[in-house]
């Protein structure tokens, strides 16, 4: 490595972040990168550890440890330390389609598995990745890669989220003619409407889409699978069809009063806010109005946190986040050793902002909604909550959360946002293409091939709700599978 003693000499440092009360005034990104010199010192903390778990992407303890893309983290960390930014970009590009996305939204599985994290602070690999790709863009190293030869094969990609875009990029660079269809009015899928602008500024997405268009990828918005696009018409036009429509079946809350007004799925809320922001800077008010209201978010995770941060920016009176499970520990438990993913309490940007704005952590653990209570106009006004406690079934050994008798109480509420996860792909899309589903409601696809000839599936639609980095891996691997089915071999 460039500096074998770097991890002992330089403490971990990350770029400055705007204060919570400052950044909630707008929907702008709020992270500032380190200077190139300071970033090089951070890259120099990457030790010659021998077994780089950061790039393993292996299952340990039921969760993935390290990067699913198998990014060559030690190599490009070393190159950054040496100041060879262009070579670092070339190494990063070998395994990664869109580092400018993951450096903003990925929970950094690489850092969780970093050997430096065993007895200290891990290398700031995610920020190093961001510094590499943004340096490459600034210096004009990221250019359209137009294939020298075309194969004459045509592929339709349905869905323009991270898996669809990754697959389209790979297939197009292989020489196939690729058309990407998107049901929304803008290209990007989850990246466009599922992730708030303060986490991923949409100009970053537009920059990449423009590059892909210059490479020859054709994008068609406002085209919905199963409605505007039928399996028969697509198979008549294209040699292969790849479904990348996401896990778009949200999990609902079954409780009395669910039919009341003011209750929304988180993905619908976030999508409406982002669309209004892009269309009119929120002036058209075509999104659920939460200003002056008590907002309750049901569900933790990234989506729940995004709802908290978005509601605060829109001027809510208060925000509460309900989580069914117990509060995780502050540090690793004995049964969760490194390099497993750390199952510890994480206070994300939205929760930080709620603490700064309202003086308390918005999360209430081991709690769920017993019923929604409304007013005479049919609008939600209060929630009846009940506490939960873990109960282990001696027969099966399974632990479930059960209500605690006498723990019921009510809280005021004007808007409910359900961020309880997803139950698989949208059934109408699967039915339109006649593809079989697995037991979890995802498209069954062995090696990305569905039950229907010439139709493939990838991303959350096949894998289930997951991370952007996993969607990118799925897209890249599905592209290889499609390429093999077309050509008999693949160099992807």
| Residues 235 and 290 both lie in one domain | no
Please enumerate in sequence order all residues whose Cβ is within 8 A of that of 324, keeping only pairs 6 or more positions apart, or say none. 366, 367, 368, 388, 401
| Residues 280 and 357 both lie in one domain | yes
Query: What whole-number distance in Å separates Cα of residue 436 and Cα of residue 217?
Result: 29
- Position 350 scores a pLDDT of 98
Structure tokens at 193: 């409407």
| Residues 321 and 461 both lie in one domain | no
Answer with the one of 398, 418, 438 that is the final residue of a domain. 418
Residue 60 inside a domain? The answer is yes
Query: What whole-number distance in Å separates Cα of residue 445 and Cα of residue 163?
Result: 15
- Position 397 scores a pLDDT of 85
| Residues 294 and 335 both lie in one domain | yes
Domain that holds residue 444: 154-248+423-487
Mean pLDDT of 465-471: 95
Residue 492 inside a domain? The answer is no
| Residues 375 and 269 both lie in one domain | yes
Residue 277 inside a domain? The answer is yes
What's the CATH number where 459 sits? 3.50.50.60
Question: What backbone torsions phi and psi does residue 322 show, to the nearest 5 degrees?
Answer: -100, 130
**210: pLDDT strictly greater than 80:** yes
Residue 371 inside a domain? The answer is yes
Answer with the one of 367, 393, 418 that is the final residue of a domain. 418
| Residues 236 and 314 both lie in one domain | no
Using alpha carbons, select from 259, 353, 260 the residue that is nearest to residue 305. 353
- DSSP assignment of 133-147 equals HHHHHHTT-------
Query: What whole-number distance in Å separates Cα of residue 296 and Cα of residue 322?
Result: 7
**67: pLDDT strictly greater than 80:** yes
- Position 396 scores a pLDDT of 87
| Residues 115 and 163 both lie in one domain | no
Q: How confident is the model at residue 221 (pLDDT cuts 50, 70, 90)?
A: very high
Number of domain units in the chain: 3
| Residues 414 and 429 both lie in one domain | no
Query: What whole-number distance in Å separates Cα of residue 57 and Cα of residue 68?
Result: 4
Answer with the one of 418, 437, 472 that is the final residue of a domain. 418
Question: pLDDT tens, 269-315?
Answer: 999 999 999 999 999 999 999 999 999 999 988 999 999 999 999 99
| Residues 445 and 482 both lie in one domain | yes
| Residues 224 and 339 both lie in one domain | no
- What percent of the chain is predicted at pLDDT more than 70? 100
Residue 144 inside a domain? The answer is no
- Position 4 scores a pLDDT of 87
| Residues 395 and 314 both lie in one domain | yes
- Position 286 scores a pLDDT of 98
**1: pLDDT strictly greater than 70:** no
Query: What whole-number distance in Å separates Cα of residue 200 and Cα of residue 194?
Result: 10
Mean pLDDT of 448-453: 98
Residue 42 inside a domain? The answer is yes
| Residues 268 and 413 both lie in one domain | yes
What's the CATH number where 121 sits? 1.10.1060.10
**394: pLDDT strictly greater than 70:** yes
Beta-sheet strand order (sheet of 218-220): 218-220, 177-181, 154-158, 240-243, 455-457
Three-state DSSP string of 336-362: CCCCCCCCCCCCCHHHHHHHHHHCCCC
Question: pLDDT tens, 12-56?
Answer: 999 999 999 999 999 999 999 999 999 999 999 998 788 999 999
Helix (H) or strand (E) holding 172: helix 162-174
Residue 410 inside a domain? The answer is yes
**157: pLDDT strictly greater than 70:** yes
* pTM of this prediction exceeds 0.85: yes
Question: pLDDT tens, 121-131?
Answer: 999 999 999 99
Using alpha carbons, select from 461, 464, 424, 465 the residue that is nearest to residue 441. 424
Question: pLDDT tens, 369-392?
Answer: 999 999 999 999 999 999 999 999
Residue 36 inside a domain? The answer is yes
Average pLDDT, the chain: 96
The Cβ of residue 251 has, within 10 Å, a number of other Cβ atoms equal to 16
- Position 277 scores a pLDDT of 98
């Amino acid at each position: 490595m460039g500096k074998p003693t770097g991890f002992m000499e330089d403490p971990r440092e990350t770029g400055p972040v705007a204060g919570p009360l400052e950044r909630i005034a707008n929907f702008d990104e709020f992270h500032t990168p380190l200077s190139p010199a300071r970033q090089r010192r951070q890259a120099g903390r990457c030790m010659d550890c021998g077994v780089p778990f950061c790039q393993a992407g292996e299952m340990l303890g039921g969760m993935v440890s390290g990067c699913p893309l198998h990014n060559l983290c030690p190599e490009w960390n070393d190159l950054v330390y040496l100041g060879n930014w262009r070579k670092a970009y070339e190494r990063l590009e070998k395994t990664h389609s869109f580092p400018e996305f993951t450096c903003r939204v990925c929970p950094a599985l690489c850092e969780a598995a970093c050997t430096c994290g065993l007895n200290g602070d891990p290398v700031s690999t995610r920020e190093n990745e961001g510094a590499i790709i943004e340096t490459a863009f600034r210096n004009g190293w990221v250019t359209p890669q137009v294939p020298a030869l075309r194969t004459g094969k045509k592929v339709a990609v349905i869905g323009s989220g991270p898996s669809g875009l990754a697959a389209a990029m790979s297939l197009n660079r292989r020489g196939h003619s690729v058309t990407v269809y998107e049901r929304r009015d803008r290209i990007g899928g989850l990246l466009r409407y599922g992730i708030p602008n303060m986490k991923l500024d949409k100009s970053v997405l537009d920059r990449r889409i423009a590059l892909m268009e210059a490479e020859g990828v054709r994008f068609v918005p406002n085209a919905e699978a199963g409605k505007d696009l039928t399996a028969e018409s697509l198979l008549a036009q294209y040699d292969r069809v790849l479904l990348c429509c996401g896990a778009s079946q949200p999990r609902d809350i079954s409780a009395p009063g669910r039919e009341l007004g003011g209750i929304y799925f988180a993905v619908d809320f976030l999508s409406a806010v982002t669309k209004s922001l892009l269309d009119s800077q929120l002036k058209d008010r075509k999104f659920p109005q939460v200003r002056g209201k008590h907002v309750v978010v049901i569900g933790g995770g990234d989506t729940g946190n995004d709802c908290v941060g978005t509601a605060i920016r829109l001027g809510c009176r208060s925000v509460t986040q309900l989580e069914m499970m117990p509060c995780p520990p502050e540090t690793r438990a004995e049964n969760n050793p490194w390099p497993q993913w750390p199952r510890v309490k994480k206070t994300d940007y939205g929760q930080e902002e709620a603490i700064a704005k309202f003086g308390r952590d918005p999360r209430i653990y081991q709690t769920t909604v017993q019923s929604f209570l409304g007013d005479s106009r049919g609008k939600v006004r209060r929630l009846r909550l009940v506490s939960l406690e873990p109960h282990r079934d001696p027969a099966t050994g399974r632990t479930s959360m059960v209500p605690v008798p006498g723990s019921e109480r009510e809280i005021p509420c004007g808007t409910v946002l359900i961020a309880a996860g997803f139950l698989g792909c949208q059934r109408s899309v699967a039915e339109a293409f006649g593809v079989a589903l697995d037991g979890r409601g995802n498209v069954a696809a062995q090696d990305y091939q569905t039950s229907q000839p010439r139709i493939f599936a990838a991303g959350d639609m096949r894998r289930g709700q997951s991370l952007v980095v996993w969607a990118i891996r799925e897209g890249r691997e599905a592209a290889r599978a499609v390429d093999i089915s077309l050509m008999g071999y693949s160099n992807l």
